[in-house]
């Protein structure tokens, strides 16, 4: 059984699988058998089978450490000592492992998919089957199951709730698992990021992927690899081994496992950042961090009334930032791009090919000097030397924090170009 150290609730736990211990077990598995049974819809993607494949072919202690560090960084914590951690939709178990390795007093992992439960149990066994880390099968849509779990200091659910078939009920049940002073780290599919292909087109692609046979799935996986990783440029094929190795820096994941998960993830729902924050607000929650990604938007949510006591500042979403779909949307006056990474490069390439207003330079919080032949200014230098109505195009995933920096200096002529960057990365500039 599990005794929740925060709430005192008692929950029956499923028995552990096997008796293997040590990391060597990860590379020696050929399959993972489960004793649990839960009837799944025919069209539900086999998430657990994909996670088992990841553990067998890609998992390493280095990837586990990358996942752990990124988890802790977004939580704005150095340690989980004395805290309890709930992993909703644990998948491979790599982030439950990271929480346990970060000193959590108690880790509880559960997943709807029995094969995912088995994958998490394999990592649990490889870590020595610690008594303060429990793994079980259950559904976030099952209110009785969730209520019996009690409450936790950290509630974590990355890329899961939108696959339940009832995202907002799942969100509500997850938010209720927060203890006083708790943190809710959730990542959800972002509708505003996907403009080409659109969310509707992606839903169709996912349906076709799940209905396809083995060769059909492989064809779509290679198509996704060509479009997003190789960027439709045959010259990038030589760099593919390095790109695959470097992908471990994305939450410890593996390139092909993520491609299969993205194409196959079904059922699924999209939601906008505004919708998520509105729904969170109904629970008294506010964002302490928001980060757009290539697929998901990540949120660190806390109770607004507790943020200051946790040493966290609430991110003010402010007025809606218009999405830039083409440079012709901008006023006919010089503008700046916020950011100097890959997204900025793609935007400049598109601007030079399609035309638009004059690009005066870049804004960056970490560097100054020159980039792509144009000046790079700090936020303060930009605010001091350019008119208040100078348009700024936000190019990277930190849209809300960067918008807040600019609004704090009286700048409101802002455009969100991150969705366009995602599209350009996919379709080409």
Give the residue from 256, 279, 310 where a domain finishes: 310
82 located within any domain: yes
Indicate whether 25 and 160 sit together in one domain.
Answer: yes
- Residue 253: pLDDT band with limits 50, 70, 90: low
Indicate whether 277 and 382 sit together in one domain.
Answer: no
Give the whole-number percent of the chain exceeding pLDDT 70: 85
More confident of the two residues 57 and 186: 186
- Residue 320: pLDDT band with limits 50, 70, 90: confident
Which tokens go with 340?
A: 């100097």
Backbone angles phi, psi at 348, to 5 degrees: -65, -40
In what helix (H) or strand (E) does residue 210 lie, and over which residues does it extend? helix 199-211
257 located within any domain: no
- Residue 428: pLDDT band with limits 50, 70, 90: low
Indicate whether 344 and 294 sit together in one domain.
Answer: no
Indicate whether 53 and 113 sit together in one domain.
Answer: yes
- Residue 21: pLDDT band with limits 50, 70, 90: very low
pLDDT at 194: 66
The DSSP annotation for 52-72 comes to HHHHHHT--HHHHHHHHHHHH
Q: Is the pLDDT of residue 292 over 60?
A: yes
Smallest Cα–Cα separation from 83: which of 29, 139, 142, 156? 156
The overall average pLDDT reported for the chain is 84
Indicate whether 274 and 379 sit together in one domain.
Answer: no
Mean pLDDT along residues 284-311: 92
Q: Is the pLDDT of residue 31 over 50?
A: no
pLDDT at 10: 41
Give the residue from 255, 279, 310 where a domain finishes: 310
Indicate whether 281 and 421 sit together in one domain.
Answer: no
Whichever domain contains 119, its CATH number is 3.40.50.150
- Residue 6: pLDDT band with limits 50, 70, 90: very low
Whichever domain contains 365, its CATH number is 3.40.50.720
CA dist 425 and 417 (Å) reads 12
Q: Is the pLDDT of residue 258 over 80?
A: no
Indicate whether 147 and 296 sit together in one domain.
Answer: yes
CA dist 170 and 420 (Å) reads 30
204 located within any domain: no
CA dist 257 and 51 (Å) reads 7
315 located within any domain: no
Domain enclosing residue 335, as ranges: 327-427
Bridge-based pairing state of the strands 359-363 and 374-377: parallel
The count of other CB atoms within 10 Å of the CB of residue 386 is 18
Task: Count how many domains the chain has.
Answer: 2
216 located within any domain: no
- Residue 22: pLDDT band with limits 50, 70, 90: very low
pTM of the model: 0.69
Indicate whether 272 and 373 sit together in one domain.
Answer: no
239 located within any domain: no
Distances (CA, A) of 39 to 86, 109, 117, 160: 24, 20, 14, 18
The DSSP annotation for 294-362 comes to SSEEEEEEEEGGGTGGGT-PPP---SPPPB-SSGGGS-SS-EEEE--SHHHHHHHHHHHHH--SPEEEE
Beta strands in 373-417 (DSSP E): 374-377, 392-394, 414-416
399 located within any domain: yes
Cis peptide bond N-terminal to 267, omega within 30 = yes
pLDDT at 42: 40
- Residue 196: pLDDT band with limits 50, 70, 90: low
CA dist 158 and 332 (Å) reads 41
Strand partners, 109: 87, 135
Indicate whether 107 and 146 sit together in one domain.
Answer: yes
Assess contact for 2 and 14: CB atoms under 8 A: no
Smallest Cα–Cα separation from 411: which of 402, 424, 419? 402
Indicate whether 56 and 147 sit together in one domain.
Answer: yes
pLDDT tens-digit profile of 263-275? Answer: 877 788 888 888 9
DSSP classification of residue 237: G
Indicate whether 347 and 271 sit together in one domain.
Answer: no
Identify the residue whose tokens are 């079904």.
Answer: 266
Contact partners, residue 321, CB within 8 Å, separation at least 6: 394, 399, 403, 414, 415, 416
Smallest Cα–Cα separation from 54: which of 27, 21, 74? 27
Indicate whether 182 and 107 sit together in one domain.
Answer: yes
Most confident of 22-36, 123-137, 395-409, 411-425: 123-137
134 located within any domain: yes
């Amino acid at each position: 059984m599990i005794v929740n150290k925060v709430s005192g609730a008692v929950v029956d736990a499923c028995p552990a699988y096997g008796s293997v211990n040590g990391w060597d077990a990860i590379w020696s598995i050929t399959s993972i058998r489960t004793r649990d049974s839960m009837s799944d819809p025919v069209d539900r993607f086999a998430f657990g089978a994909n996670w088992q494949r990841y553990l067998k072919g890609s998992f390493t202690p280095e990837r586990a450490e990358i996942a752990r560090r990124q988890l802790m960084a977004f939580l704005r914590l150095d340690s989980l000592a004395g805290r309890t951690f709930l992993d909703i939709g644990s998948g491979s178990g790599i982030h439950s492992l990271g929480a346990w390795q970060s000193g959590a007093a108690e880790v509880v992992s559960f997943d709807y998919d029995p094969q995912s439960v088995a994958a998490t149990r394999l990592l649990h066994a490889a870590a020595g089957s610690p008594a303060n880390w429990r793994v079980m099968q259950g559904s976030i849509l099952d209110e009785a199951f969730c209520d019996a779990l009690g409450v936790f200091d950290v509630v974590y659910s990355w890329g899961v709730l939108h696959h339940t078939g009832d995202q907002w009920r799942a969100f509500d049940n997850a938010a209720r698992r927060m203890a006083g002073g708790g943190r809710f780290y959730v990542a959800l599919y972002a509708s505003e990021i996907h403009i080409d292909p659109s969310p509707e087109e992606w839903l169709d692609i996912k349906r076709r992927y799940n209905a396809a046979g083995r060769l059909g799935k492989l064809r779509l996986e290679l198509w996704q690899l060509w479009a997003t990783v190789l960027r439709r440029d045959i010259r990038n094929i030589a760099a593919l081994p390095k790109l695959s190795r470097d992908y471990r820096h994305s939450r410890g994941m593996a390139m092909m496992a993520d491609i299969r998960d993205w194409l196959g993830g079904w059922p699924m729902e999209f939601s906008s950042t505004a919708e998520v924050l509105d729904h969170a607000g109904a629970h008294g929650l506010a964002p302490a961090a928001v980060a757009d990604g290539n697929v998901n938007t990540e949120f660190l949510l806390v109770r607004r009334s507790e943020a200051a006591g946790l040493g966290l500042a609430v991110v003010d979403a402010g007025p809606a930032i218009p999405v830039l779909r083409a440079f012709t949307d901008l006023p006919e006056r010089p503008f700046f791009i916020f950011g100097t990474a890959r997204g900025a490069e793609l935007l400049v390439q598109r601007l030079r090919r399609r035309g638009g207003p004059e690009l005066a330079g870049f804004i960056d919080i970490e560097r100054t000097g020159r980039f792509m032949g144009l000046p790079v200014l700090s936020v303060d230098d930009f605010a001091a030397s350019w008119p208040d109505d100078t348009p700024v195009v936000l190019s990277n995933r930190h849209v809300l924090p960067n918008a807040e920096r600019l609004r704090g200096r009286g700048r409101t002529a802002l455009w969100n170009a991150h969705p366009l960057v995602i599209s350009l990365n996919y379709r080409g500039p």
